[in-house]
Chains A and B, each alone.
Chain A
Amino acid sequence: DIQMTQSPSAMSASVGDRVTITCRASQGISNYLAWFQQKPGKVPKRLIYASSSLQSGVPSRFSGSGSGTEFTLTISSLQPEDFATYYCLQHNSYPHTFGQGTKLEIK
């Protein structure tokens, strides 16, 4: 199985900050990586697909990059509604696997 190691597991930041979250795959997954945002009590919402493509309706302050084994999600200028937990998901092969999540809290 492909392991996804996400870092950091938690972080605090302020409105307006630039934030980067990283996911590393235990083996190459090309660009079969998606990023999700989840708020408490809500279903996950996909932000990014194919490593760097923005899901329709997602603000342009979100961006993704990477290929192979290392991927990043960047939020260019944090907004109050961005405080949530973020997950990466590899779907290169079965079983699909999520990273363990990054909880983004207000500083």
Chain B
Amino acid sequence: QVQLVQSGAEVKKPGASVKVSCKASGYTFTSYYMHWVRQAPGQGLEWMGIINPSGGSTSYAQKFQGRVTMTRDTSTSTVYMELSSLRSEDTAVYYCARPSISGWYGGSDYWGQGTLVTVSS
């Protein structure tokens, strides 16, 4: 069965960086794009970007350009999302999400359990 298991909660100081991992299993890792979505406390969902695990190509939301880096390790079927220059507004639950081969256009999607990142001095 498809599983996405994310790394544990993090507490970071303003200005620091955080790297969240998402380990995939139960499917061919390189065949499906992976998205990252975040949700600040009491707020809505925010799409951050996408990575193609096959070649490593990425596309990021403009809001995060220059601060976010998404990478993958095909040997461990893991994708990573690193966010730098953290500020308090980055306090949120970060999710990895894997839609179907046709993206959100059909099939099933799978989500990690979420990783809470708290930015506080």
Interface flag for B66 (CB, 8 Å)? no
CA distance A46 to B109 in the complex (A): 8
Is chain A's interface secondary structure helix, strand, loop, or mixed overall?
loop
* Given the contacts A43-B111, A43-B113, A43-B114, A98 and B106 also touching, CB distance less than 8 Å: no
Q: Chain A: how many interface residues by the 8 Å CB criterion?
A: 25
Q: Which residue of A lies closest to B59 (CB)?
A: A94
User: How many A-B contacts at CB < 8 Å in the complex?
Assistant: 56
**A95–B106 CB distance below 8 A:** no
Interface flag for B35 (CB, 8 Å)? yes
Interface flag for A32 (CB, 8 Å)? yes
Q: Enumerate chain A interface residues (CB-CB to B < 8 A).
A: 1, 32, 34, 36, 38, 43-44, 46, 49-50, 53, 55-56, 85, 87, 89, 91, 94-101
Q: Enumerate chain B interface residues (CB-CB to A < 8 A).
A: 35, 37, 44-47, 49-50, 59-62, 95, 103-106, 108-109, 111-114
